[in-house]
Amino acid sequence: MTKLKVTTIGGGSGQYALLSGLRDLEEIDITSVVSMVDSGGSTGRLRDELGILPPGDVLKCLLALSPQREIARALFLKRFSKDKRLRGHNAGNMLLTMLSRYTGSFPTGIQALGEILNVRGAILPVTTDKATLVAELTDGTRIFGESAIDVPRGGQPSKIKDVYLVPHHTGYIKAYPPVMDAINAADYIIIGPGDLFTSILSNIVVPGVKDAIKETNATLLYVVNIMTKYGETHNYSCSDFIEKLEEGIGRKVQIIICNRTKPEDQILAEYRKQEAEFVEFVDDQQLWQNRKLYLADLLDTSGSIVRHDSEKLALLIQEIILA
């Protein structure tokens, strides 16, 4: 039987949750397109000190698609503590950096680490051009860098109006060519879950990606976030996420997945300290017209962290695309 081609678009922990579940679906071939604007922590330091593309989100995807995921996580996310230069870096970021420099390119470094981890699927950086993500707010203010955009701003924040990329050394940014091929060849494109502006739209604003998504015959499926993020999606409902995404991609999404299960009050109280709220579903018949909407229990709150349950999400997606 010919396998369905599924391309995912995103970054961060949301892609890890999604890919961890999709990895075990035998009926699909997976290609993950990953954002290249991460600028915090170990990734940010390596990017600044060595001038490399950010390895952090790619590493999460590699681990998610590895059959040795739990052992690999324990080893590759282990942070160095003794050596002054290595302190704070994790082993996976350092290995990916070394492989990229040795092979001469970031994509071949990803491929090499994928062979080590025996990953199921392909992982592609959305671009190989170095760039900084810039957010333009409704009050005209501009914020430079993914990590700065993610920092909560005091008081009632102005909303993010738009995001765009500023190249570092060249006068242009372009999509990595295999990304265009993956979008064009896909039967399904799964967008999200993940931070709307810094993990998802940061991929879409790479020149060429939006046009490819508009022209593809693939069915678009969007997994809406479970919680809002202060300074990024403050006070967003489920419909707000969808409208902003569609504004970015320039077309409608045919399938929407939204979690319907609310976390316990104790967990929500902890999130409110960070001004994060549960994403509510609003029954707007006009918005849902000509779309397929799936409301389901997709919640995982282990460790008192709200995330999508990988297995539940994968089973629902399997039910949808193989119906």
The domains of the chain are located at 4-33+172-321, 36-125
Amino acid identity at 262: K
3-state DSSP call for residue 184?
helix
pLDDT beyond 60 at 306: yes
Contact 308, 268 (CB under 8 A): no
Amino acid identity at 80: F
Share the mean pLDDT of the chain.
88
The pLDDT value given to residue 95: 86
| pLDDT tens per residue across span 18-72 | 999 999 999 999 999 999 887 555 554 555 554 556 677 898 899 999 998 888 8
Please report, in angstroms and rounded to a whole number, the separation of the first and last CA atoms in the chain.
Answer: 15
The hierarchical CATH code for the domain 4-33+172-321 is 3.40.50.10680
Q: Answer positive or negative: Cα dihedral of 17, 194, 257, 212.
A: negative
Confidence of residue 232 (pLDDT cuts 50, 70, 90): confident
Looking at the chain, the whole-number percentage of residues with pLDDT higher than 90 is: 62
Whether the link from the prior residue into 193 is cis, omega within 30° of 0, is yes
Contact 203, 33 (CB under 8 A): yes
Contact 58, 123 (CB under 8 A): yes
The pLDDT value given to residue 4: 96
Confidence of residue 139 (pLDDT cuts 50, 70, 90): confident
| pLDDT tens per residue across span 112-130 | 999 999 999 999 999 999 8
Average the pLDDT over 143-151 and give the result. 78
Cα angle value 214/169/144 (rounded, 5°):
70
The pLDDT value given to residue 176: 96
Q: Report DSSP state, residue 85.
A: T
Q: Which conformational region is residue 250 in: left (phi greater than 0), alpha (psi within -120 to 50 degrees), or beta?
A: left
* Closest by CA position to 316, among listed 299, 294, 290: 294
Q: Name residue 125's beta-bridge partners.
A: 34
Strands 219-223, 122-125: parallel, antiparallel or unpaired by DSSP?
A: unpaired
Q: Which two tokens stand for residue 309?
A: 């349950």
Q: What is the rounded distance in angstroms from the CA atom of residue 242 to the CA atom of residue 211?
A: 18
Average the pLDDT over 181-195 and give the result. 96
> What's this model's pTM, rounded to 2 decimal places?
0.91
